[in-house]
């Protein structure tokens, strides 16, 4: 931990978010959500459906609100408890947009230009990408800092964005002579599911925006679909090794073993102790059975939450009230620090 992080004296608070931009997948679950559920037992937690982030790429206005309800339903079904954690939609809390603008004036072009996720998402046609997609990581910094979030549970793909958030917090504190006003948020990248890869290519992360449905397991997939996707997952011709070192240079095998381990809460070594020497013909059905066993109860609960949108709306409304109550005084202080008139 850096000196700046240890010098921050405010309360410790977990902050994290997910985009309501499509079906939640196994990567989102194992990389982030599973940890959220555990962390809420010990920490003050704030979890946000980041719909402002979602519109950095085109979204169907007729579907966005229901996508926000759906992701909330998935969280509740997975065990996020709105009596323990604050659960809300980003667009219902004005602090995000206001602080994002201020931090856009703190962040440096060179820092944001280095972000690899923009390069990946914008692809070759970056001239046509939205400005919002470019400044996405600054909004992410604003999300966390509007709540003075100190710890951020995310998958490994978000590591670079978190480093930027730390730089922005530090720069703001120094530019405005506001020592330790913002904490430097620490990433919490935990567990064997921190980097779940595509089922079709073990070198690419599992992602909502992958055009191939077979590349990911979605929360809403039923047992047959899960089994089919695992059966069709890319693997190789060799048997599984007995030692972890034997996964070297076998990205698909490593990924499937890692998924099994994350679902079973076992290390790769423990999984290989059980399956070393077996071929994929035996391992894949065992993985499919485990995935169905773990995901089906969540999917069922999620569907029943989705049948009651008023209940989800009530959770989001209450969450927005609590979120505004935390973020408004922080933004008021930011305005004073920046020197705006009539703060
Ligand atoms: N493959 C993954 N392995 C582990 N964790 C992952 N996360 C995402 N993919 C993986 C984690 O899930 C959380 C929410 O992510 P998000 O919804 O904000 O968006 P994302 O990271 O951009 O997810 P996708 O699926 O990859 O969406 P697209 O395709 O739109 O870019 C984060 O904590 C993330 O680390």
Task: Determine the pLDDT at residue 206.
Answer: 96
Which of the listed residues 207, 212, 218, 254 should we mutate to test ligand 1's pocket, taking the one with most ligand atoms within 8 A of CB?
207
- In angstroms, the first-to-last Cα distance of the chain is 34
Ligand 1 atom having least distance to the Cα of 196 = 3
pTM for this entry: 0.94
- Tell me the CA–centroid distance for residue 161 and ligand 1, in Å: 12
pLDDT < 70: residue spans in the chain: 1-6, 343
Q: Which residues line ligand 1 (CB under 6 A)?
A: 18-19, 21, 25, 27-28, 31-32, 154-155, 157-158, 193-196, 205-209
Contact (CB, 8 A) for 149 and 185: yes
- Tell me the CA–centroid distance for residue 27 and ligand 1, in Å: 7
Task: Determine the pLDDT at residue 151.
Answer: 97
Ligand 1 atom having least distance to the Cα of 206 = 1
Which residue is closest in CA terms to ligand 1's atom 18? 18
197 DSSP β-pair partners = 205
Task: Determine the pLDDT at residue 191.
Answer: 79
CA dist 283 to 89, 275, 279, Å?
40, 7, 6
Task: Determine the pLDDT at residue 89.
Answer: 98
Structural domains of the chain ordered from first start? 3-188+308-338 (3.40.50.620), 213-303 (1.10.240.10)
Which residue is closest in CA terms to ligand 1's atom 7? 28
Task: Determine the pLDDT at residue 3.
Answer: 52
Task: Determine the pLDDT at residue 209.
Answer: 83
Contact (CB, 8 A) for 54 and 21: yes
CB atoms within 10 A of CB 287: 24
Which residue is closest in CA terms to ligand 1's atom 2? 27
Ligand 1 atom having least distance to the Cα of 205 = 1
- Tell me the CA–centroid distance for residue 32 and ligand 1, in Å: 8
Which residue is closest in CA terms to ligand 1's atom 35? 155
């Amino acid at each position: 931990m850096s000196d700046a992080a240890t010098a921050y004296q405010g309360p410790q608070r977990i902050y994290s978010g997910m985009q309501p931009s499509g079906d939640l997948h196994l990567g989102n679950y194992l990389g982030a959500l599973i940890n959220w559920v555990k962390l809420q037992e010990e920490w003050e937690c704030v979890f946000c459906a980041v719909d402002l982030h979602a519109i950095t790429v085109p979204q169907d206005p007729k579907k966005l609100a229901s996508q926000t309800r759906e992701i909330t339903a998935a969280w509740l079904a997975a065990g996020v408890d709105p009596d323990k954690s604050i659960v809300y939609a980003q667009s219902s809390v004005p602090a995000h947009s206001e602080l994002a603008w201020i931090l856009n004036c703190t962040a440096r072009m060179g820092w944001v230009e280095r972000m690899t996720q923009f390069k990946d998402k914008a692809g070759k046609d970056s001239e046509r990408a939205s400005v919002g997609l470019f400044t996405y990581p600054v909004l992410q910094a604003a999300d966390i800092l509007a709540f003075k979030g100190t710890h951020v549970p995310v998958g490994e793909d978000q590591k670079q964005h978190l480093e930027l958030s730390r730089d922005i917090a530090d720069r703001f504190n120094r530019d405005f002579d506001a020592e330790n006003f913002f904490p430097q948020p620490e990433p919490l990248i935990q567990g064997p599911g921190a980097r779940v890869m595509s089922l079709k290519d073990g070198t690419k992360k599992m992602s909502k925006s992958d055009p191939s449905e077979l590349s990911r397991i979605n929360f809403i997939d039923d047992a047959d679909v899960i089994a089919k996707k695992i059966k069709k997952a890319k693997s190789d011709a060799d048997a599984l090794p007995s030692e972890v070192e034997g996964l070297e240079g076998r990205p698909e095998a490593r990924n499937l073993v890692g998924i099994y381990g994350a679902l079973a809460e076992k290390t790769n070594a423990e999984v290989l102790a059980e399956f070393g020497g077996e071929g994929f013909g035996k391992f894949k059905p065992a993985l499919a059975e485990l995935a169905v066993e773990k995901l089906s109860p969540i999917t069922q609960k999620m569907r029943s939450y989705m049948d009651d949108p008023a209940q989800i709306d009530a959770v989001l409304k209450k969450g927005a009230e609590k979120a505004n109550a935390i973020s408004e005084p922080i933004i008021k202080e930011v305005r004073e620090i920046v020197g705006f008139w009539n703060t």
